[in-house]
Amino acid sequence: MLLLFVMLAATVVAEIQDPAAEQIIKFKEKTSGPIGMMTTSAGAPVPHSEALNTLNTRLLLNEYFMDTMTHLVRERIPERVVHAKAGGAFGYFEVTHDISHICKAKLFKQIGKKTPVAARFSPVIVERGGSDTSRDARGYAVKFYTEDGNFDIVGFSTPMYVYNDPRLFPTFVRAQKKNPATNLFDANTVWDFLTLQPESIHMFLLIFGDRGIPASYRNMPGFGIHTYQVENEHGDVNFVRFHFVPDAGIKNLRSEEAQKIGAEDADYLTRDLYKAIGNGDFPSWTVSVQILTFDDVKHADFNVFDVTNTIPLSKFPLRQVGKMVLNKNAVNYFAEIEQLAFSPANLVPGILGGPDKVFEARRLAYRDAQYYRLGANFHNIPVNCPFRAQGLQVYNRDGRAPVLDNGKDIPNYFPNSFNGPVPYDDKKRVQLIEILEPEPNNFRQATELYVNEMTTEERSRLVENVLYSLGSAASFLQERAVKIFSIIHPDLGYRIEQGLRSNKTKPYHDITYNHYIV
């Protein structure tokens, strides 16, 4: 009897600890029987004879069969070119520190104010069926449902981005994706891009280093990457970079550990997030900003708008703004996470966006991607609706569903003389500044990262991971890579060169290491 009790208790604990595995069981438990009569998409009840048999009957007259079969072949929407695989959840952002003197956006209005949010975390390169534990940067996207419409931060798990000229986006994506002839990932194309665009190495030092594989999304930081222009009620301008720091600490996986986990569970990070929230272990992040004035921007000895670089925390420390908490899983993944559509163009009064060209290009690319994937009315999909705004008043009409009430009977053009919606008048509103971007310094911050922010063990693992990737590339690409790594630091270049010569993909321990690191 005691043994039976222990077994039953263990079963109960397992159910509590794994809501992802028990989701369908819990649905059965909370329903006393079938939840209703089965219908076609048009609402007609489905007879028993049609639902259980099609043999020796006319298929075209079986509406259940026709309805389900024709829908099945249309159930997949176009996959995202990047960030195809993801985990996500919902929650809130709560203001803990007043920054209204910097930014007038209502989501920062007062201490204690809560704004609903949706978040999506995603590896960049892998396809929708790929592994969560791949070595890759991660997307870190947050949608704030504010009273003035939706504000989206479409950020990354790294504080910098991979290029500062938006023309390189198609090149970067295609070089990282599968070879069109072999349909295999190809080290030659990856390293061809990285060595032709050396500004990318700064970000890839983190990807090939210990930050390349998060231990969980709950332990993954997020960064807005752009320097946003913001304004207060008086039209005074400042500039900020957003940081999301996990309250559970930043934790990552080593290569061997990630490979083992990925072999057993390709959805490891997605499962972990769902289970944690399902068990009431709500992940949270401290949301902070770095604040720069116009004078700071003018007198900085680096380009504060260059997304391939960071803004030094030693000069511009983090100022806490609030907390983000995720406390609700999606009820239906496709409806709420797959259709969750982000765009840097989703801005609100007080936040003007980034003046850099990458931000400008992303405003176009993200919007166009959503039109392609979800249709012209993707804003009407519930998860994308600015539901807290005071009545959606837009002149866009018609197109592919959902159209909601399609604007009812109001005029469908502007300006008009028939009392249609009118724009608001903000005389104090300033314009997004225009900047002239100088020639980038592609290596200074990469050198600082290698010398000052990595431990001896981290440098060794960085070399190991670079060699694992670079080892199968063509020799001329290896030579180009060694030259770039040597510019970043002679020690780094030397260790990678020696590792390539020894034809081994494990750390090369140089006896002169301490001589190089000063």
Q: How many domains does the chain have?
A: 3
Whether residue 361 lies inside any domain: the answer is yes
Closest CA to 192 of 483, 497, 474, 471: 474
Decide the pairing of beta strands 237-246 and 228-231: antiparallel
Q: Please give the Cα distance from 481 to 192 (Å, whole number).
A: 9
Tell whether 265 and 240 lie within a shared domain: yes
- The verdict on 123 and 248 lying in the same domain is yes
Q: What interhelical angle do 456-470 and 475-488 show, nearest 10?
A: 160
User: Same domain for 142 and 251?
Assistant: yes
Residue 233 lies inside a defined structural domain of this protein: yes
Instruction: Look at residue 275 and tell me if it is in a domain.
Output: yes
Name the domain boundary from 54, 75, 96: 75
Instruction: Provide the pLDDT for residue 78.
Output: 92
What's the confidence (pLDDT) of residue 511?
A: 33
Task: Provide the token pair at 399.
Answer: 């197109």
Say whether both 69 and 107 belong to one domain.
Answer: no
pLDDT at 24: 85
pLDDT at 405: 86
Task: For residues 66 and 93, state if they share a domain.
Answer: no
Asked if residue 495 and residue 374 are part of one domain, the reply reads: no
| Angle (deg, nearest 10), helices 444-452 and 475-488 | 80
Whether 487 is in a domain gets the answer yes
Predicted pLDDT of residue 4: 52
What's the DSSP call for residue 204? H
DSSP 353: E
Please state the separation of Cα 270 from the chain's center in Å.
Answer: 13
Give CA separation, 458 vs 35, 82, 198, 492, in Å.
55, 28, 21, 12
| Rounded distance between C-alpha atoms, residue 429 and residue 322, angstroms | 25
The residue segments making up the domain with residue 291 are: 87-172+199-384
pLDDT value of position 16: 57
Instruction: Check whether residue 141 and residue 163 sit in a common domain.
Output: yes
Shared-domain flag, residues 219 and 241:
yes
Same domain, 59 and 114: no
Q: At what angle do helices 169-176 and 187-196 cross, to 10 degrees?
A: 150
Among 51, 75, 99, which residue terminates a domain? 75
User: Which residue, 160, 279, 133, is CA-closest to 217?
Assistant: 133
> Do the domain assignments include residue 7?
no
For residue 129, being part of any structural domain is answered with yes
Residues 231 and 102: beta-carbon distance below 8 Å: no
Detail the DSSP E strand segments found in 19-113: 87-95
Annotated binding-site residue? 494: no
The CATH number of whichever domain residue 256 belongs to comes to 2.40.180.10
d(CA 469, CA 255): 12
Is 164 a member of any domain?
yes
Nearest CA to 186 out of 468, 473, 464 is that of 473
Burial class (CB in 10 A: 0-12, 13-18, 19+), 452: exposed
Whole-structure pTM over 0.75, yes or no?
yes
Successive 10-residue mean pLDDT values, the chain, 518 residues: 49 65 88 88 89 91 90 90 96 97 95 98 94 96 96 98 94 95 95 96 97 97 98 95 98 96 96 97 98 95 94 97 98 96 95 96 94 93 90 82 87 86 81 86 92 96 96 96 97 96 55 33
143 and 59 share a domain? no
Considering the domain boundaries, does residue 139 fall inside one? yes
